[in-house]
């Protein structure tokens, strides 16, 4: 039966409205970004990047702190629950690539995520309070050898890069340490200055304000070469450790985010690298820019996942 003219007109209107809804440019509503850390330097960095991206996307970006599970809680929650439409994203760190080696998980760090953009890198370091008797990393090693299992060190959580690198270093040195995990870097800083732990292992920028204030000092850094802003602090290799470790941060979405949406998000977050205020924040927090295209970020993630196996094994933390 041929529809009447009024009915045909009504159907055309419905089809046009539906097509208009589907054709809405991305984004047409606010975006949520999960941040798998407590408030601190990484939180400040992420909020600055989202602020810049929001201006270029024309929509608000809401940052929600989701700390836990060594920096994997937020990404895994997103991967399990979010639609692949670009409206729920997460900050991602290196810890995502080692958890599957350390314990049984029901997610895959490559297959279950869409890698969108690299953001920043962090130098990792070992610090002590100014009042500490340890004047060098060699002092720490000597004390640990004389007191097996008694030297306490704090990190932002079990399974983090800081935890893993310290256990790997202890394995190389033949010493036993006492790990004290905290919820985040600010808690580690408080514990160190309060005498709860003997040394702290965290990103160098987390401790910078306390070092600048004369309350703490660096003993060692894990960079390839001495940092431009830590020229007097030796690297791990300089003190006899065969290791170079940095913490890398990026932003991603769940599996299957359409390529046009990925490219739109990458473009918006990459605008931060041209923003003087963002670069100033990164410099203040002692983080370095890490611009990565989606393809380069994905390739880096695959290689990192492969390499993390060796690091976990060296730390003696492989799942049994």
The answer on 230 and 256 residing in a single domain is no
Write out pLDDT tens, residues 190-246.
Answer: 999 999 999 999 988 888 889 999 999 999 999 888 988 889 999 999 999 988 888
Give the C-alpha separation, 43 to 35, whole Å: 7
**pLDDT at residue 110, as a whole number:** 96
Q: Which domain holds residue 52?
A: 30-121+246-314
Q: What is the pTM of this model?
A: 0.79
Note whether 151 and 229 are same-domain residues.
yes
Residue 231 sits in the same domain as residue 262: no
Are 140 and 188 in a shared domain?
yes
Q: Are 287 and 122 in contact (CB under 8 A)?
A: yes
CATH number at residue 104: 3.40.190.150
**Phi and psi (nearest 5°) for 218?**
-85, 145
Residues in Cβ contact with 39 at an 8 Å cutoff, skipping those fewer than 6 apart: 65, 184, 186
Q: What are the helix (H) ranges across the chain?
A: 5-22, 41-57, 73-81, 99-102, 137-146, 161-173, 185-193, 204-212, 259-270, 276-285, 294-314
Q: How confident is the prediction along the chain (320 residues), in pLDDT tens digits per residue? A: 444 555 555 554 555 444 444 457 999 999 999 999 888 888 899 999 999 999 999 999 999 999 888 789 999 999 999 999 999 999 998 889 988 898 889 999 999 999 999 999 888 899 999 999 999 999 999 999 999 999 999 998 888 889 988 998 999 999 999 999 998 888 999 999 999 999 999 988 888 889 999 999 999 999 888 988 889 999 999 999 988 888 889 999 999 999 999 999 999 999 999 999 999 999 988 888 999 999 999 999 999 898 888 878 877 788 87
Tell me if 110 is assigned to some domain. Answer: yes
Within a domain: residue 169?
yes
Do the domain assignments include residue 55? yes
Q: Same structural domain for residues 144 and 201?
A: yes
The verdict on residue 16 lying in a domain is no
CA dihedral for 248, 123, 194, 158, sign (positive or negative)? positive
Residue 52 belongs to a domain: yes
């Amino acid at each position: 039966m041929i529809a009447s003219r009024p009915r045909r007109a009504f159907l055309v209107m419905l089809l046009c409205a539906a097509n208009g809804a589907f054709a809405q440019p991305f984004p047409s509503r606010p975006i949520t970004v999960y941040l798998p850390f407590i408030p601190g330097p990484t939180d400040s960095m992420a909020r600055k990047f989202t602020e810049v991206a929001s201006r270029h996307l024309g929509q608000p970006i809401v940052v929600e702190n989701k700390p836990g599970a060594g920096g994997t809680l937020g990404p895994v929650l997103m991967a399990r629950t979010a639609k692949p439409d670009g409206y729920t994203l997460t900050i991602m760190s290196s810890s995502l690539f080692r958890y599957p080696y350390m314990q049984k998980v029901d997610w895959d760090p490559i297959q279950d995520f869409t890698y969108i953009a690299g953001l920043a890198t962090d130098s990792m370091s070992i610090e002590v309070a100014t009042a500490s008797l340890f004047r060098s990393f060699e002092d720490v090693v000597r004390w640990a050898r004389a007191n097996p299992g008694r030297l306490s060190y704090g990190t932002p959580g079990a399974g983090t890069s800081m935890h893993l690198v310290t256990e790997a270093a202890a394995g190389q040195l033949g010493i036993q340490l006492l790990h004290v995990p905290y919820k985040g870097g600010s808690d580690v800083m408080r514990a160190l200055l309060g005498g709860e732990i003997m040394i702290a292992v965290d990103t160098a920028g987390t401790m910078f304000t306390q070092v600048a204030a004369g309350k703490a000092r660096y003993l060692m850094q894990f960079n390839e070469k001495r940092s431009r802003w830590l020229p007097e602090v030796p690297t791990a290799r300089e003190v006899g450790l065969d290791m170079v470790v940095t913490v890398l941060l990026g932003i991603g979405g769940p599996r299957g985010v359409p390529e046009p949406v990925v490219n739109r998000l990458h473009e918006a977050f990459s605008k931060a690298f041209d923003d003087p205020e963002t670069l100033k924040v990164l410099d203040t927090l002692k983080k370095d820019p890490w611009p990565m295209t989606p393809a380069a970020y994905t390739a880096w993630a695959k290689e990192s996942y492969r390499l993390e196996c060796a690091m976990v094994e060296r730390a003696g933390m492989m799942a049994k």
